Amino acid sequence: MENNKRFGLSVLESEILVTIDNIGWYAYLWFPVVYREVLNFGSDASDEQVHMAFGSLIRKGALVIVQENCAEVPQWELAPGALEEAKETWSLGTDLRTRLGLSDPDE
């Protein structure tokens, strides 16, 4: 497996990781509603799809928990190498959507 493709991220998962890297992890901005404007998160995916993507990111090991205390709200960070793969995947997905006319780059 190529080092830069070890997580097998989707475009949505990549957008989530890039957003977390830019903003930081704040659970209340993602759950129960995705606060897109605050996060500057431009995905058209439904909140349900975004929430399912979090589970996938955890299963893939791209998001890792950073505290051990189960009584606290979990804090997450990006696994080593996840951001690089996310940026590459997100960039390729954005370019493809633009070329296919599925999104307006000025929106």
Model confidence pLDDT, tens digit, residues 23-42 = 999 999 999 999 999 999 98
CA atoms within 13 A on the CB side of 100: 7
| CB 9, CB 91: distance < 8 Å | no
Model confidence pLDDT, tens digit, residues 49-67 = 999 999 999 999 999 998 7
Distance of CA 86 to the CA centre of its chain: 8
Per 3-state DSSP, the chain is made up of helix, strand and coil in percentages (nearest 5) of: 50, 5, 45
Model confidence pLDDT, tens digit, residues 81-100 = 999 999 998 887 554 444 44
Separation CA 41–CA 18 (nearest Å): 9
| CB 26, CB 95: distance < 8 Å | no
Domain ranges of the chain: 9-99
Separation CA 94–CA 11 (nearest Å): 8
CATH architecture of 9-99: Orthogonal Bundle (1.10)
